[in-house]
Structure 1
């Protein structure tokens, strides 16, 4: 049976929403396992009667920590006859370099307990968007009373691999070509993860997906450019053994809404599915064909020669060696060594500046690559040209080795060490 027909059948067989469009809300508070008091708001149909399904919403990583960020979804789902708790997200213990998905799952379950304690709430589940797609399965597996799971833009890959795909896509849309694409999207982000600047980078969602026993509704925007929709759906289909319904919304973005307007059919799909599952009518597993997407690149653990300590230390030592030569006037010494010192240090500065500028300008809308020449940002192109000059001058230093002074030899050795470092980081690659 085609998915559209299945959803139509569900909407017809499931109880209709309890009311029309009016929604009421009340504030609530809950306490996390580590003692933090967080707020939130419960939304429900204005004239709710009888027992209704419930759902706790789990934030993504973007935006703020307030329940207000989830208000559009909360109100839309309440109009579908669901009692919805939109909680605040913790800020203590949560940052770009520190977060624990198991802790966030415990927070969701603390909110879930408040929702389940409300009169008139029957079977209840978890809804998670984006990062909530990593958190939701953990909460579903830990919560004995969690009856179902809904994910929107749920990542099926590790955070680091997902971010690499995300960053590569931003460069593609900006028109960037060449070695910078892999350098920035993969090697630079992996270095940051190895240095502890990328929280939970290697989290593997597969074990949690395999452990899920509740029905799962997994939704993606077909035009999602933050999480790879096709590959994520593949991982959900491969690992979820319970009832799984996979649907893609053509042309829709990562969050399935723009501002306060939800993608057409999104709330209806969630409402029909939740009402059917809560009535004990979980559908047989089904999945729509995935959209076309560029494939992600695996991010295995770094080898010893790829460690952040080695690369950061190498860059620092190279700069010191180059600057040690330039302490005296540039007129002293031999020209190859002078070229190595000046071009090498300038190449490193332009290299670091390019990567940091891309990182600073990156947002959900894309990345600011600046003016391009041959598909390269001008600072990156300068870094590559200077790296090539440095390599040639370093080899020239070696031909003068016997007659060279210590300072010239130091510059030559630094230049030779610079070559493999520059190759690794794409400065000497097309």
Structure 2
């Protein structure tokens, strides 16, 4: 079935290319390149313009980076392929000032791209009315923002663009990666739910809640949106539907959505979305060869738009995905309040005991059983809460790039240990309740209050543990 699907997708891509075949330019065997620099918000950005060798004015495109540092070398295969096919292409080094792992501003990146557009429009070998954008991954959020903001944009091409928010897209991607590592069940659910809300509230996930839908509703220039057949980083089928629906609502009559056979998130060759087949080596890793027909479909489409014949809207059927993305459950304020209550509740017992020792006020002799039960609830409760949150946030912070060394019952060993601890906390709390009630007459008022706080905290721990998937 996969072979048949790939053949069908290939035929659909060929049809898109054929739409602009009457206007397509012959493939250029040579090109020229020139170093350029331009300013945006006080920062000088440096790049390279690849120009077709043929004379005359050409359509042009600015390449917009995916997330990360974004040196231009990462996008040279696309830039050179586009230039050889008659499209002048600007690729530049992404800004390092005002952009980092924990800080980014899509509006600022949009202004950078718009400055690149102005540079191309000023060139004598470029048709100023045919300058557009190509956005990859993160650039799939930025490119429509530029087009919605400026009337100078002639078209938008995206590859691996998401129709969901960055945070929702990331949790979907992490579920894919965890499944690839053999992990399923409660950990992916905890990551997509309370874990995502927790990290969202910290502000450490920049632009987490950026909604592309209102932006797409303002884009009226022709759009070609592509996804790799094996894209495991964005929900391609969902995104294609959103692009088609929201752009149509904007009155856009030239929206083409397609899926590149045998390609991953970046449109390059892959076997399953997690590897790269061939291609140039970037930072010690192969980029993968450009997917079959990928560059041709883009450049033929650009030439058709530049010639004044943008294809009518059309959508290729998407490959069914294993699961849909989900909006994160809960709210950051609740997550922080619940965490504070649990930590304070579990730590009250040892703190109050230490305080009594400082005051040299020894309690009446407590039965051994109730003391051990109380200590168990306090220590295990604190450990479970901290370890549970740490496991989930570690996955979000690292992107699950490394597979755990030990996986048991479909769960990484640390996460399985946290599950055992959570069950033990409740068992210890039940033991504390029984011994406290049995020996209540032998305890002083302060001791009874200490144990009551622990039991109330354990009661609050139960719904929290269920919410964080620690008991499922």
Q: Same fold (TM over 0.5)?
A: yes
For residues 350 and 292 of structure 2, what CA distance do their matches in structure 1 show? 60
Q: Cα–Cα, structure 1 residues 353 and 203, in superposed 2: closer, same or farther, change >3 Å?
A: closer
Question: 5+ residue gaps in structure 1?
Answer: none
Cα contact 2:197–2:328 (8 A) shared by 1: no
1:132 aligns with 2:139: yes
**What is the aligned partner in structure 2 of residue 379 from structure 1?**
414
SS at match of 1:84: strand
**What is the aligned partner in structure 2 of residue 396 from structure 1?**
431
Among 268, 273, 276, the alignment partner of 2:296 is 268
Among 199, 202, 217, the alignment partner of 2:224 is 217
Cα contact 1:171–1:367 (8 A) shared by 2: no
Q: Cα–Cα, structure 1 residues 326 and 368, in superposed 2: closer, same or farther, change >3 Å?
A: farther
Once the two structures are overlaid, the 10-residue window that deviates more, 290-299 or 155-164, is: 290-299
Q: Which runs of 4+ in 1 moved over 6 A?
A: 328-332
Deviation at 1:343, TM superposition (A): 2.2
**What is the aligned partner in structure 1 of residue 286 from structure 2?**
none
**What is the aligned partner in structure 2 of residue 286 from structure 1?**
314
Among 374, 380, 405, the alignment partner of 1:337 is 374
**What is the aligned partner in structure 2 of residue 50 from structure 1?**
56
**What is the aligned partner in structure 1 of residue 3 from structure 2?**
none
Cα contact 1:57–1:127 (8 A) shared by 2: yes
**What is the aligned partner in structure 2 of residue 314 from structure 1?**
341
SS at match of 2:66: coil
- What is the TM-score of this pair, normalised by structure 1? 0.91
Cα contact 2:227–2:258 (8 A) shared by 1: yes
For residues 454 and 112 of structure 2, what CA distance do their matches in structure 1 show? 56
Q: Cα–Cα, structure 1 residues 324 and 417, in superposed 2: closer, same or farther, change >3 Å?
A: farther
For residues 379 and 322 of structure 1, what CA distance do their matches in structure 2 show? 26
For residues 49 and 76 of structure 1, what CA distance do their matches in structure 2 show? 18
SS at match of 2:188: helix
Q: Deviations over 1:399-430 (max 9, x none)?
A: 314344244444333333322222221112x2
1:204 aligns with 2:211: yes
Cα contact 2:51–2:87 (8 A) shared by 1: yes
Q: Cα–Cα, structure 1 residues 254 and 5, in superposed 2: closer, same or farther, change >3 Å?
A: closer
**What is the aligned partner in structure 2 of residue 168 from structure 1?**
175
Cα contact 2:134–2:143 (8 A) shared by 1: yes
Deviation at 1:185, TM superposition (A): 2.8
Q: Deviations over 1:206-231 (max 9, x none)?
A: 12112111111111001100011100
SS at match of 1:280: coil
Deviation at 1:333, TM superposition (A): 5.3
Cα contact 2:45–2:94 (8 A) shared by 1: yes
- What is the TM-score of this pair, normalised by structure 2? 0.83
SS at match of 1:147: coil
1:77 aligns with 2:99: no
1:413 aligns with 2:456: yes
Q: Deviations over 1:37-78 (max 9, x none)?
A: 111110112x2301110000000103x232222211111111
**What is the aligned partner in structure 1 of residue 151 from structure 2?**
144
Q: Cα–Cα, structure 1 residues 330 and 419, in superposed 2: closer, same or farther, change >3 Å?
A: farther
**What is the aligned partner in structure 1 of residue 404 from structure 2?**
369
Question: 5+ residue gaps in structure 2?
Answer: 1-10, 269-275, 281-288, 358-365
1:355 aligns with 2:371: no
Q: Deviations over 1:344-398 (max 9, x none)?
A: 23323432342244345426xx442331111121111111111111112213323
For residues 96 and 418 of structure 1, what CA distance do their matches in structure 2 show? 33
For residues 459 and 338 of structure 2, what CA distance do their matches in structure 1 show? 15
Q: Deviations over 1:116-158 (max 9, x none)?
A: 1111101110110001110000111222221111000110111
Among 232, 239, 243, the alignment partner of 1:232 is 239
Q: Cα–Cα, structure 1 residues 256 and 330, in superposed 2: closer, same or farther, change >3 Å?
A: farther
Q: How many equivalent pairs are there?
A: 421
SS at match of 1:94: coil
Q: Rg bigger for which structure?
A: 2
For residues 178 and 359 of structure 1, what CA distance do their matches in structure 2 show? 16
Cα contact 2:341–2:457 (8 A) shared by 1: no
Deviation at 1:250, TM superposition (A): 2.1
For residues 233 and 42 of structure 2, what CA distance do their matches in structure 1 show? 33
Q: Cα–Cα, structure 1 residues 407 and 319, in superposed 2: closer, same or farther, change >3 Å?
A: closer
Q: Deviations over 1:71-129 (max 9, x none)?
A: 11111111111100002212222223322212211110011100111111011101100
SS at match of 2:380: helix
**What is the aligned partner in structure 2 of residue 425 from structure 1?**
468
